[in-house]
Amino acid sequence: MDVSAPVTAADYALERNPNAASAPDRELAMEAPAFGMVFTDHMARATWTLEGGWGNRRVEPFADLSLHPGATVLHYSQQVFEGLKAYRWADGSTRLFRPEGNARRMAASAARLSLPPVSEDEFLASVEALLAVDGDWVPTQGESSLYLRPLLMGTEACLGVRPSHEVEYLLMACPVGAYFAGGVRPVSIWVAQGFHRAGEGGTGQAKTGGNYAGSLMPQQQAQDNGCDQVLFLDAREDKYIEELGGMNVFAVRRDGTVVTPRVTGTILEGVTRDSVIELLRAEGREVVERDIALEDLRSGIADGSVVELFACGTAAVVTPIARLVSPSFDEVVADGGPGTLTMHVRGALTDIQYGRAEDRFGWMTRVS
């Protein structure tokens, strides 16, 4: 392999799916897909070996995988993933939102999990190659999009605890609408009791499946208590808010300033988080990244100095938060309705993503 030449979509060999959905079936499947439940006709793949590096790039029919039962990923969770979206603009073109941000984060996550790096051009090439064949799966209606899920995993059959000598890169895609059932609505947040998402020096900053597996039980407790998502506090003091099960969190103060937990190595550095900060600062707003004690947040909600809370992420976009709940309190934020600034940020972000506003930050990448 010529390691100096950038990888392009042309490096992906195409095997078409003979059973690809017909246009009417595809339209039907895309009508109101639950998040991550409908998959397109193809997936992109590449294989890495210790001796040969990356190669065997292909786009092939979407199908079950064949994995050795001893594969490292199945035993020791040597795995990282990403999430980004492709949007259909009114002019028929397809655009990606800040894909280089996801590529960079995947490289950082991979390093933490001792997986081989996927270069930015390799990452983008795989997305372009998949969209070249599955482009009709980018939805056109409302605020829907095609969610792209790249995945890296150790596939070598080896029960010894060491980095896999064989790694598979996979890219799959799902047409999606709103992440939360019931569309864009204010959600309720449960404060995790006795569980933490990440400790210092752990894998909290990496987008690796284990972080999400560990969130499932606290997330179930959230649901058992009538909430939509769980909020984790820091593991050292159980005092400062960090992030939700799968998204970052912001608070809006009555004086118009916006605060969000600073990234300390235990919080995922969200591409949407970063975009929200940039958008608000460009509007002249003060955005402060700092430690936020749960008790201060609670008292701020109670005395009216905190007027809005929202969650954000690729999947969640910007989602208003109505309530903060634990066994000992139930704080309703302002009147519980979607906050004005929250919906403004959501609008400003989605206007750029869907081409309704000028892309003044240079965030959108045209793929077709």
| The one segment of 114-122, 291-299, 312-320, 343-351 that binds ligand COI by CB under 6 A | 312-320
Q: How many CB atoms lie within 10 A of CB 221?
A: 16
- Shortest Cβ distance from residue 6 to ligand COI (Å)? 26
CA atoms within a 13 Å half-sphere pointing along the CA-CB vector of 5: 9
Please tell me the distance from the alpha carbon of residue 340 to that of residue 290, in angstroms, as a whole number: 23
Contacts within 8 Å (CB) and 24+ apart, 178-181: 178/35, 178/143, 178/317, 179/35, 179/313, 179/315, 179/316, 179/317, 179/319, 180/228, 180/316, 180/319, 181/34
Of 154, 177, 204, 246, which lies in the binding site for ligand COI, with binding defined by CB under 6 A?
A: 246
Nearest-approach distance from CB 349 to ligand COI, in angstroms:
13
- Cβ proximity to ligand COI: between 109 and 164 the closer is 109
Q: How far is residue 8's CA from residue 367's CA, in Å, rounded to a whole number?
A: 12
Q: Which stretch binds ligand COI (CB under 6 A): 120-128, 170-178, 218-226, 307-315?
A: 307-315
Q: How far is the CB of 332 from ligand COI (least distance, A)?
A: 26
9 near ligand COI (CB under 6 A): no
215 interacts with ligand COI by CB under 6 A:
no
Cα dihedral 147, 313, 126, 266 sign: negative
102 makes contact with ligand COI (CB under 6 A): no
CB of 4 to ligand COI, least distance (A): 32
Which residues are CB-contacts of 330 (< 8 A; sequence separation ≥ 6)? 323, 324
Least Å distance between CB 154 and ligand COI? 20
**Residue 314 found at the interface with ligand COI (CB under 6 A):** yes
Which two three-digit tokens encode residue 104?
């960079």
Segment contacting ligand COI (CB under 6 A): 185-193, 196-204, 277-285, 311-319? 311-319
CB atoms within 10 A of CB 73: 20
Residue nearest to ligand COI (CB): 83
Closest contact distance (angstroms) between CB of 268 and ligand COI is 8
Which positions from 315 through 344 interact with ligand COI, judged by CB under 6 A?
A: 315
Q: Which is nearer to ligand COI, 78 or 319 (CB)?
A: 319
User: How near is the Cβ of 314 to ligand COI at its closest, in Å?
Assistant: 4
Angle, helix 271-282 to helix 99-112, in steps of 10 degrees: 140
The footprint of ligand COI on this chain (CB under 6 A) covers a number of residues equal to 6
Q: Does 313 bind ligand COI (CB under 6 A)?
A: yes
Q: What are all long-range contacts of 98-102, with beta carbons under 8 Å and residues at least 24 apart?
A: 98/271, 98/275, 98/363, 98/365, 99/123, 99/124, 99/127, 99/365, 100/124, 100/365, 101/271, 101/274, 102/150, 102/271
Cα–Cα distance between 332 and 322 in angstroms, integer? 6
| Range in contact with ligand COI (rule: CB under 6 A) among 39-47, 186-194, 224-232, 308-316 | 308-316
| Site mask for ligand COI (CB under 6 A), range 66-85, x = bound | -----------------x--
> For binding to ligand COI (CB under 6 A), which residues are involved?
83, 212, 246, 313-315
